[in-house]
Amino acid sequence: MDYQNEYILVKDLRKIYARKKHHDLLVFDSISFAVEKGEFICIVGGSGCGKSTLLRVMSGLDSDYEGDIIIDGEKVKKPDKRRGFVYQEHRLFPWMTVEKNVRFVINDGNEEENKKKVKEILELVGLKGFESAYPKELSGGMAQRVNIARALVNKPEILFLDEPFGALDALTRIQLQKELLVIRKKQKNTMLLVTHDIEEAVFLADRIIVLGNRPAEILDIVNVNLSETRERSSKEFQEIRKNIYKYFEYKEH
């Protein structure tokens, strides 16, 4: 396979988690895949399979890995503001208002410009009118919106999302999934989202990477050839869902 022209290239990625009192843990081994610019990739896997670690490594938050991660021709060594990260927990600073939380992550530009940037991004995630609210006054869904706004405000080319809707109730989750697609359409980011919710993956992704358990390996990469507006109850949707689900069914040995 020739990967040279790929936007994101992950090749022979291997991550060992060193532990003090136990043997070192091999989190994943020989992971290779490529992502095109503008693609929406979902990574699904069981809990503890290393999918979040894979995302952290790819975004540069965790630089202790073997193998290659090349984004736009550059090897990933540390976080970069061209890559936004939506954390699993909202991680908002409770002492700052919504607006200040988002503004905190901007470290360049002038005051006026940044103010405008924050305003635009809060509007985009549907938080207009909540600028001066404190995190404790927000619902889980709202807090997660701020988390997304914070990841987007530096206009990243790639957005990494680590189980962003995992802690939300089903209805809020569906609402935010829809909004995420709207955001993607407007901002044209490349997106990589980790989830254990197969339905979520089928709803959002262009391609789904299915990870198997410890050490994680790629079991399958599924193309989701569905129209842009996806009907969860449609036959095609359910077909793909079932296809992925079979990887996680309990097998008797």
Partner 1 sequence: MRKKVHNGLIYFLESIILLILIIIIWCIASETGYINEILLPSPRMIGQTFIKKLIDKSLLIEIGISIGRVLKGYMCAVIAGICLGVIIGLSEHVHHMTKIIIQILKPIPPIAWIPLVILWMGIGETSKVFLIFLGGFFVILLNVIDGIRYIDPKIVEVSSAVETPKMKYIFQLVIPAAMPNIFTGLRVALGTSWSCVVAAELVAASSGVGYMISNARNFGQMDVVIIGMISIGVVGKLMDEILRLLEKKILAWNF
Task: Kindly list the residues in this chain that would bind partner 1 in the complex (CB under 8 A).
Answer: 61, 79, 81, 85, 87, 89, 91, 93-96, 104-107, 134-136, 150, 154
Would you say 62 and 16 are in contact if contact means Cβ atoms under 8 Å apart? no
Of 26 and 96, CB closest to partner 1: 96
Of 86 and 122, CB closest to partner 1: 86
Question: Which of these, 126, 101, 107, 231, lies nearest to 176 by C-alpha position?
Answer: 126
User: Where does residue 179 rank: exposed (0-12), middle (13-18), buried (19+ CB within 10 A)?
Assistant: middle
**Closest CB 206 distance from partner 1, rounded Å:** 26
Kindly tell me the sign of the dihedral angle through the C-alpha atoms of 85, 91, 93, 99.
Answer: positive
**Closest CB 203 distance from partner 1, rounded Å:** 28
Question: Which of these, 225, 220, 233, lies nearest to 44 by C-alpha position?
Answer: 220
**Closest CB 223 distance from partner 1, rounded Å:** 31
Of 118 and 222, CB closest to partner 1: 118
Q: For 211, phi and psi rounded to 5 degrees? A: -100, 135
Q: Where are the beta strands (DSSP E) in 72-153?
A: 74-75, 83-86
Q: What is the DSSP string of 16-80?
A: EE--SSS--EEEEEEEEEEE-TT-EEEEE--TTSSHHHHHHHHHTS----EEEEEETTEE--S--
**Closest CB 82 distance from partner 1, rounded Å:** 11
Question: CA 82, CA 184: separation in Å to the nearest integer?
Answer: 15
**Closest CB 119 distance from partner 1, rounded Å:** 19
**Closest CB 180 distance from partner 1, rounded Å:** 20
**Closest CB 145 distance from partner 1, rounded Å:** 16
Of 26 and 105, CB closest to partner 1: 105
Question: Which of these, 62, 56, 33, lies nearest to 210 by C-alpha position?
Answer: 33
Of 91 and 241, CB closest to partner 1: 91
Question: CA 212, CA 248: separation in Å to the nearest integer?
Answer: 8
Of 65 and 247, CB closest to partner 1: 65
Q: Which two tokens stand for residue 74?
A: 């550059």
Of 95 and 250, CB closest to partner 1: 95
